[in-house]
Amino acid sequence: MQSCAVAAEGLWEWEAQAPALVPGAVFGLFAYRADHAAQPWLEFDIEFVGPDTRRARLNIHMQASSAAPVTLEAARGGPVLAELGFDAARGLHRYGIAVTGREVVFTADGRVLGRFSPSDMPGRLWAGGLLRGFANLWCVDTTLESWAGSWRASGQPR
């Protein structure tokens, strides 16, 4: 699902219950570049990857117009995991991504999960641009199994 409205800064919020997930499944809430065909990569993620719905994976993807994409995970040397203090698959919770020209703040039920700025990104890159809110549920293909696990749900198509 995606929002119709676009903005360069603001608060994207979702009231959601994560589904019970299996290895290879991903439930994502994210602010993503509004024009994915022409705009450099820009993405702010809250993701539930595989069966652990007690932690959310936070990530940022950015690209200057002429540069290779960079991620928060690359700067940190691996996944940025936020302990939620609850199981996201057991009830509705409010998730937020607040984006300004200087930082992004990820929240769950009003509690800050992570706050990041240019100093947290490789080369201090901080890009801006128009964003849409998205929510999705998907299973990974074989190229992403090292990230999310292998999709093995019996009788379910990939």
- For residue 156, the model assigns a pLDDT of 59
Which is more confidently placed, 145 or 80?
80
Query: In this structure, is residue 42 part of a structural domain?
Result: yes
Query: In this structure, is residue 150 part of a structural domain?
Result: no
Query: In this structure, is residue 148 part of a structural domain?
Result: no
pLDDT confidence bin for 154, thresholds 50/70/90:
low
Mean pLDDT value across residues 27-53: 94
Q: How many domains does the chain have?
A: 1
Measured CA to CA in angstroms, residue 124 lies from 28, 69, 87 at distances of 25, 12, 34
- In sequence order, which ranges of the chain are alpha helices (DSSP H)? 72-76, 145-148
Query: In this structure, is residue 94 part of a structural domain?
Result: yes
Domain that holds residue 105: 10-114+124-143
Residue 64 in tokens: 């200057």
- For residue 143, the model assigns a pLDDT of 86
Residue 31 in tokens: 């602010």
Mean pLDDT value across residues 94-105: 96
Query: In this structure, is residue 152 part of a structural domain?
Result: no
Whichever domain contains 28, its CATH number is 2.60.120.200
- For residue 61, the model assigns a pLDDT of 96
pTM: predicted TM-score of the whole model, two decimal places: 0.93
* Tens of pLDDT, residues 106-142: 999 999 999 999 999 998 999 999 999 999 999 888 8
Query: In this structure, is residue 3 part of a structural domain?
Result: no
Residue 88 in tokens: 């996201």
pLDDT confidence bin for 100, thresholds 50/70/90:
very high
- For residue 155, the model assigns a pLDDT of 63
Query: In this structure, is residue 91 part of a structural domain?
Result: yes
Q: Which residues contact 109 (CB under 8 A, 6 or more apart)?
A: 93, 94
Query: In this structure, is residue 54 part of a structural domain?
Result: yes
